[in-house]
Structure 1
Amino acid sequence: MPDAVGVIQTYGFPAVLSAADAMVKSGRVTLVYYDRAESGEQVVAIRGPISEVRPAMEAGIEAADKAPPNGKLVTYYIVPNPPENVEMVLPIHYTEKVEQFRWI
């Protein structure tokens, strides 16, 4: 079964850290991408079965909203079954670095 992708974008590091922590603890998902965006925004992406990504994203959204001051949720989205061409262009694939943490 193809994996879904969930992405959360926050303002401030505490919010993205809270979101990432909550997501990996709430479902069988793997954190596949993290980066800073412009103006203090942060992005984190997870992969896993859609049945696991949805509750993990809900937990991440809630955690980002409750993050300490100066942190807030900017946006989020889930892509249930990204096509192969999207996977080849965007940094959402499983790399060797994260493969050891992947749920199988």
Structure 2
Amino acid sequence: MANKAIGILETRGLTCLVAGVDAMLKSADVQLAAPMQQIGSAMCNVVVEGDVAAVKAAIDTGAAAASQIGEVISAHVIARPDEAISDVLPTTAAKGK
């Protein structure tokens, strides 16, 4: 994750999160860091990674798209996160490919 940024989009409802993720992946050169996660109480989130400018653009676009369909709870970008942050992020077996 060295010199990458991460962006987190959290919504109430899966439908608006899927719309937001679709917009993010189409708008900028970012990759999903892990599958979408359901938190509970209809809250869902996703983490994307890439360079700082791409992640910022993707989060802005994704939040705008998601808010047209449902409720965006939070959208945040962390530039150059500490390596220890990977311990709290969701992981997937496919990430090693």
Q: TM-score, normalised by structure 1?
A: 0.82
User: How far apart, in 2, do the equivalents of 1:64 and 1:19 lie?
Assistant: 5
Matched, 1:8 2:9: yes
- Matches of 1:74 and 1:60, distance apart in 2: 12
User: Could you tell me which residue of structure 1 aligns to residue 42 of structure 2?
Assistant: 40
Query: What CA distance in whole angstroms lies between the structure 2 residues aligned with 1:28 and 1:98?
Result: 16
Other structure's SS at 1:7 match: strand
Write the mapping of 1:14-93 to structure 2, written as runs, cut at 5 A. Answer: 14-33=15-34, 34-67=36-69, 71-87=70-86, 89-91=87-89
**Which residues of structure 2 form unaligned runs of 5+?**
none
Percent of aligned positions that are identical: 24
Structure 1 segments, 4+ long, off by >2 Å, are none
CA contact (8 A) 1:5 1:78 kept: yes
In 2: Cα distance, 1:86 partner to 1:27 partner: 23
Paired letter, 1:73: V
Q: How far apart are the structure 1 equivalents of 2:78 and 2:90? A: 11
Count of residues in correspondence between the two structures: 95
Long gaps (5+) in structure 1: none
